[in-house]
Amino acid sequence: MTKKARKTTYSVLIAFVLLAVTVSTVFAAPPLDVHIQVDELIGGLGVDEPFTASGSAVDAGLICAVGMVQDVSVSTSGAPSAPFRIIQVLKRFTCGDGTFDVRMVVHLDLATNYTTAHWRVVSGTGNYADLQGNGSLVGTPIVPGASIHDDYYGRMH
């Protein structure tokens, strides 16, 4: 093969690879909005509690509208005299067609019992094996120190 033919072949090959990358990026699914609500007992490790989800991620069938959620692991840190606690939580959301796990770092205000957090999907099974997403959480105490209403806001794809 001549030098000019090799150069042309390499140029066509590079153009094809760039086109394939560009096309796959263009057709990748955009993240969809999700809002998940859970009323839960504090300290209920391994206890299933119902959740409801809404938003375009639910409308598109990306996640289920109702299911169960449970704490898989919880660890707390913070200085005893600090006005807050940091809580690392792994939650498992269960739907009829699989599960997805969410990891979050929660900031608990000890004066008000309100919480805030950032969350992200870290794994899944069944229809949720490739699920990705992240967002924020706001927790409002129902019975301070005993139960809380959590609102998850975010995007999934």
Rounded to two decimals, the pTM is 0.80
What is the SS3 assignment for 73-119? Answer: EEEEECCCCCCEEEEEEEEEEEECCEEEEEEEEEEEECCCCCEEEEE
- Write out the H or E segment, with its range, that includes residue 122: strand 115-124
Q: What is the structure's pLDDT at 43?
A: 80
- Cα(120)–Cα(126) distance, integer angstroms: 18
List the CATH code of the domain at 31-156.
2.40.350
The confidence score (pLDDT) of residue 80 equals 84
Quote the pLDDT of residue 24: 45
72 bridge partner residues:
none
Q: What is the pLDDT of residue 45?
A: 79
- Taking 70 as the pLDDT cut, the residues of the chain under it are 1-28
